[in-house]
Homo-oligomer: A and B are copies of this chain.
Amino acid sequence: TVSDWVNSQAVLADHLNIQQWAAVIGGSLGGMQAMQWAISFPEKQRHVLIIAAAPKLSAQNIAFNEVARTAIKSDPDFHEGHYADYNAIPRQGLGLARMLGHITYLSDAAMGEKFGRELRYDAIQYGYDVDFQIESYLRYQSETFVEHFDANTYLLMTKALDYFDPAQEFGHDLAKTLASIQAKCLVVSFTSDWRFSPERSHEIVNALLSTGKEVTYAEIEAHQGHDAFLMPIPRYHEIFNSYMQRIAAECGAVA
């Protein structure tokens, strides 16, 4: 789970004799880890940057993950997870999971802009093979992905996402959950991100504000969907950069 990961990161930090981070930063599942750091180890960081994340997945998010997992598990090459023993990779299932993931990371507008209804060949083929560029793109993405990503890891990561719900231990009260946080926070969201929409970031911001935390919130106008947090969007990078300079200045002043 996310808190297992954060605990093991904390063990490593202790081993390296790091007393306190200037900032813990993460996007998406990484943003959840950053949030978990601030909850589990309130004194271990000065700042937390939570980018394109949510305090927990919605039923729709879980549903998409479940489709991806079902695709992987029902691949005949999955062998109950022991595919390595059979020298196999569940390519079809993992590829399907990636195709689906890719759609949810992008926005309808971004896909429309990039591909529209452009055809792969000159005319419609009237078969069940590729007609539109978007289909060809998704197939290519899934084929390259299966060479570089492990199916069991995909299952594990989606379950970690599904399980993340730090407020559960606090009677589902997010404000109470975040009340112990000592770090100052920057929360960033992207307008066309429908996987972790701005509304989900508002939940985090509102909970932090309601317990009097110092929080900065930036909602970035972007058409790239969830993927925007990986993109060189000028306003996003400016805000990130200026916040990092503030952290550097604060740490410099203390040191």
Contacts of A66 in B (CB 8 A): 99, 132, 134-135, 138
Given the interface pairs A58-B112, A134-B66, the reply to whether A117 lies near B71 with Cβ below 8 Å is no
Minimum CB distance partner of A199 in chain B: B108
Contacts of A138 in B (CB 8 A): 63, 66-67
Minimum CB distance partner of A1 in chain B: B126
Residue A15, interface by CB 8 Å: no
- The quantity of this chain's copies bound in the complex is 2
Given the interface pairs A69-B128, A96-B70, A100-B100, the reply to whether A63 lies near B135 with Cβ below 8 Å is yes
| CB under 8 Å from chain B, chain A span 64-111 | 64, 66-67, 69-71, 73-74, 76, 81, 92, 95-96, 99-100, 102-103, 106-108, 111
Q: A58-B108, A59-B134, A63-B138 are in contact. List 9 more A-B contacts (CB 8 A).
A: A57-B117, A59-B111, A67-B99, A70-B96, A70-B139, A71-B71, A81-B128, A126-B159, A132-B162
Residue A165, interface by CB 8 Å: yes
Residue in B70, B99, B132, B194 whose beta carbon sits within 8 Å of that of A59 in the complex = B132
Q: Is the CB–CB distance between B163 and A114 below 8 Å?
A: no
Q: Is the CB–CB distance between B73 and A108 below 8 Å?
A: no
Contacts of A69 in B (CB 8 A): 128
**A interface residues, tally (CB under 8 Å):** 48
Contacts of A62 in B (CB 8 A): 117, 132, 134-135
Residue A5, interface by CB 8 Å: no
